[in-house]
Structure 1
Amino acid sequence: MSSAPASEIQKNFGEWHDRAYEGPVEITRYGRTTAYLVSAKLFRDMWASYRKVVAVEELSDSDMAMIRKATVESSEPFNLSDIPDIEETPDAPRMG
């Protein structure tokens, strides 16, 4: 992964923009990571797999009603181990 201070990114944005196609660019300020510059494709891939965590207490009554009504269209028993990890899916985004 490339890394550069924010001032360098600002001075030579075109060059760093092109490097973002090769992989994420770490942007630092005063020696600390403050942001990353990524290609649009990588961003879309990451965003597609983004999941927001919500505490049960934050769910509305209508959310809870939908969960209660949910069914699994299968006569076979299942458990969470039946669900593949994202790394095991054929179209999982590859980082790095």
Structure 2
Amino acid sequence: MLKVSAADFQRDIGRYQDIALREPVAVTREGRTSTVLISTEEYMRLKRRDRQVLGLDDFTDADIEALERSRPDPAAKAFDAEVPR
């Protein structure tokens, strides 16, 4: 991902818009990424995934077996207190 300062972004916004059609452009302010510019197509792809609802019929037998065999990372135990019992 290309990183560019907010000042450089403002000076040449057209250039960075063109680049964002091919790859994300991170805009930084005081050395920290504040925003990311992406193409409309990428944004729409991400929004579709955000709303995707899967039913059991969407999983293969192999998917279900893999889920049944999976175990949480031991580091995840740190979050046990956040789950009501």
Normalising by structure 1, we get a TM-score of 0.53
Identity of aligned residues (%): 28
Q: Name the structure 2 match of 1:28.
A: 28
Task: Find the residue that maps to 1:23 and give its secondary structure.
Answer: coil
C-alpha RMSD over aligned residues: 2.1
Q: Runs of at least 4 residues of structure 1 off by over 6 A?
A: none
Query: Structure 1 unaligned runs (5+)?
Result: 52-71, 83-96
User: Which structure shows the bigger proportion of residues in helix conformation?
Assistant: 2
Matched, 1:2 2:2: yes
Task: Find the residue that maps to 2:50 and give its secondary structure.
Answer: coil
Between the two proteins, the alignment pairs up a number of residues equal to 57
Deviations along 1:22-53, whole A, 9 cap, x unmatched? 110011000001110000000000111115xx
Task: Name the amino acid aligned to 2:64.
Answer: S
Separation in structure 2 between the aligned mates of residue 7 and residue 37 of structure 1, nearest angstrom: 15
Normalising by structure 2, we get a TM-score of 0.59
Q: Name the structure 1 match of 2:11.
A: 11
Query: Structure 2 unaligned runs (5+)?
Result: 66-85
Q: Name the structure 1 match of 2:48.
A: 48
